[in-house]
Structure 1
Amino acid sequence: MDVTPAAGSAWTDPACPVARAVDLIGDRWSLLIVRDAMDGATTFTEFHQRLGIARNILTDRLRKLVEYGLLSRSAAADGRRHTYRLTEAGQDLFTTVVALRQWGERHAFAPDEPRSVLVDDQGRELPRLHPLGQDGTPLSAGTSHVQRTG
């Protein structure tokens, strides 16, 4: 896996994990492809139909997500197409996608506006994510800070 930003560019902020993550998956289409892969999409056609993305952009984003190690690509049974599956690194984005979804539910919709809902296997909505400290106390931007290493 080549964990570098797009060809010809450098890390936005080399020492910041948030900046590196955004450099790798921060564009609209990449994260939506990951979201749809989590929801069962595996082929170019499925991603294209679900997202309505231009074919050339989808080709580019799938290539980059494979290159960055977030998706794996293998030949489909018919040998003419490829299937895409989340790698462990791609699956690790689940919490991020849930956090973005929950933020969107709270801040990007009017109270009565229809929206999709993420549910568990029993049909129950997922509980709200909350960062917790080592002792179990809730954390916020006001109760945590970045500590530089190295």
Structure 2
Amino acid sequence: MYELDRPMTCSIGRAMEILGERWTFLILRESFYGVRRFSDIQRNLGIARNILSTRLQTLVGAGILVRVLYQAEPERYEYRLSEAGKDLYPAIVTLMRWGDRHLSGELGPPVVLRHNPCGHAAEPLLVCSHCREELDPHEVTPERADSDVATA
């Protein structure tokens, strides 16, 4: 087995401190579906107000969502994805595809992602940014970012 000289900090661990909770991913799913208002998110998820409020505060504090005033009297806010939030789209789609493949059984996927420009159902892939080959975990070697090889 490959032994990695692991750094003290881990990007997966840091991300999971913010994202590592079921409701957080479901709130993000709603955001990617275009749902922005507290009451709509609450209705769609069936989540308690206090839990939703806490999760939204965490996501805003982490810079994943932006709280935007849409009505002055009374004050009402909506929650929009920031650039950091939009960068989570591949992670959300990957989790969805995993659930479709391993948890849907004979029912099949409950949601299909339609790629608007071509009109086809999308089957997103994780690919190498250099050669465009699909990434296989057996063909990827984790290395410390400060190693000589990583900068080559």
**Normalised TM-score (structure 2):** 0.81
In 2, Cα distance between the equivalents of 1:14 and 1:69? Answer: 24
The residue identity in structure 2 corresponding to 1:27 is E
Q: CA shift at 1:103, angstroms?
A: 1.1
TM-superposed CA distance for 1:134, in Å, is: 2.7
Equivalence map 1:33-44=2 (5 Å): 33-44=27-38
Q: Identify unmatched segments of 5+ residues in structure 2.
A: 1-6, 147-152
Q: Does the CA-based 8 Å contact 1:42-1:84 persist in structure 2?
A: yes
Instruction: Name the structure 1 match of 2:88.
Output: 93
**1 or 2, which has the higher helix percentage?**
2
In the alignment, structure 1 segments of 5+ residues that lack a partner are: 1-12
How far the C-alpha of 1:131 sits from its partner, in A, is 2.7
Aligned-partner Cα distance in 1 for 2:109–2:13:
32
Give distance in 2, aligned partners of 1:112 and 1:124. Answer: 20
The answer for the alignment partner of 1:107 in structure 2 is: 102
1:29 alignment partner, one of 20, 23, 34: 23
Shift of 1:136: 3.2
**2-side partners of 1:111 and 1:103: how far apart?**
15
TM-score w.r.t. the length of structure 1 is: 0.82
Contact 1:118 1:125 in 2 (8 A): yes
C-alpha deviations, 1:10-65, integer Å up to 9, x for none?
xxx85211221111112111111111011111111011011111111000000010
Give the letter aligned to residue 126 of structure 2: H
1:138 and 2:144 correspond: no
Please list, as runs of the form range in 1=range in 2, the aligned pairs for 1:10-89 lying within 5 A after superposition. 15-79=9-73, 80-89=75-84
Aligned residues: CA RMSD: 2.0
Q: What amino acid maps onto 1:100 in structure 2?
A: L
Paired with 2:96 and 2:115, the residues of 1 have a C-alpha distance of 14
Seen in structure 2, the aligned counterparts of structure 1 residues 47 and 103 have a Cα distance that, compared at 3 Å, is same
**Offset, 1:113:** 4.4
